[in-house]
Amino acid sequence: MVPSQAVEYRPLGSNSIRLFRFDKNAQDIISGEMKPYTLEDFPPYYALSYCWGPGTETVRIGVNGGDLQVSRSLNDALKQLHQFIVTSVDLSHCNNWIWADQLCVNQQDIVERSKQVPLMGKIYRQAIRTIVWLGDDNDSSSSAWTLVDKIYDIFRERYPKARTLADIPFAVYSELEFKLSGLPKWDDTTWYHFKNLLRIPWFTRVWVIQEVALSAKDPIILHGPHQYPWHKLSWAAAWLRRTGYTRLENIPCQLLNVDAMSCIRRSNTPWALDVLLCLTATKFQATDQRDKVYGLLGLTKEGQDLTNLPDALRPDYGLDVVDTYKRVTLYIFNKYKNLSTLTRIKTFALIEGTSSMQSTHALEKSPSRTKLPSWVPDWSDSIIIERQLAKSFSWISHSHETDEGILGFPNYYKACGGLQLHIHQLENPSTLKLDGLWVDTVIRSVRPTDGMESGGESIDHCHTMIWQTAAPLLPALGAADWLTSYIKATTAGHHIIGGRTETQIMRDGSAYLLGLLTRNENLTSTDSTSVESTSKLIYLLQSLSIDGDAEVYTSISYNFCFQWSFFVTKQGRMGIGPVVTRPGDRIAILFGGEVPYVLRSRDGVVILLGESYVHGLMQGEIIQALRKGKLAPQMIEIH
Sequence ranges of the domains in the chain: 16-128, 456-561
Backbone angles phi and psi of 597, in degrees to 5:
-120, 150
Q: How many angstroms separate the CA atoms of 107 and 9, rounded? A: 10
pTM, full prediction: 0.86
319 CB-near residues (< 8 Å, 6+ apart): 290, 327
How many Å from the N-terminal Cα to the C-terminal Cα in the chain? 64
Q: Are 393 and 338 in contact (CB under 8 A)?
A: no
Length of the chain: 639
CA distance 193 to 186: 12
Pairing of strands 565-569, 432-446: antiparallel
Dihedral angle computed from the Cα positions of residues 499, 504, 505 and 508, in that order, rounded to the nearest 10 degrees:
-110
* Residue in 521, 494, 516, 515 with CA at minimum distance from that of residue 505: 494
Distance of CA 332 to the CA centre of its chain: 17
CA distance 175 to 172: 10
Cα separation of 549 and 237, whole Å? 28
Look at residue 355 in the predicted model and tell me its pLDDT. 37
Burial class (CB in 10 A: 0-12, 13-18, 19+), 454: exposed
The pLDDT score that the predictor gives to residue 357 is 34
Considering only CA atoms, which of 41, 59, 63, 234 is closest in space to residue 132?
A: 234
For Cα atoms 360, 366, 370, give the angle at the middle one, nearest 5 degrees: 110
The CA distance from 431 to 300, in Å, is 27
Distance CA(423)–CA(551), nearest Å, equals 44
Q: CB of 469 within 8 A of CB of 445? A: yes
Q: Which residues pair with 58 in a beta bridge?
A: 71
Cβ-based burial of 79 (10 A; exposed 0-12, middle 13-18, buried ≥19) = middle
Q: What is the pLDDT of residue 302?
A: 87
Q: Where are the alpha helices (DSSP H) in 13-109?
A: 72-87, 101-104
- Sign, Cα dihedral of 469, 470, 473, 474: negative
- Residue pair 119/35 in contact (Cβ under 8 Å)? The answer is no
Helical (H) or strand (E) element with 517 = helix 502-519
d(CA 111, CA 497): 48
Taking alpha carbons only, the member of 413, 574, 419, 582 closest to residue 486 is: 574
Helix/strand/coil for 425: coil
pLDDT along the chain (639 residues), means of 10: 68 93 84 94 94 83 92 93 75 75 92 91 94 92 96 96 87 88 95 96 95 96 94 97 88 93 88 90 90 93 86 91 94 91 62 39 47 91 55 69 71 91 86 96 92 62 93 94 97 76 94 92 69 89 94 87 92 96 97 96 92 96 93 94
| 8 A C-beta contact, residue 432 and residue 337 | no
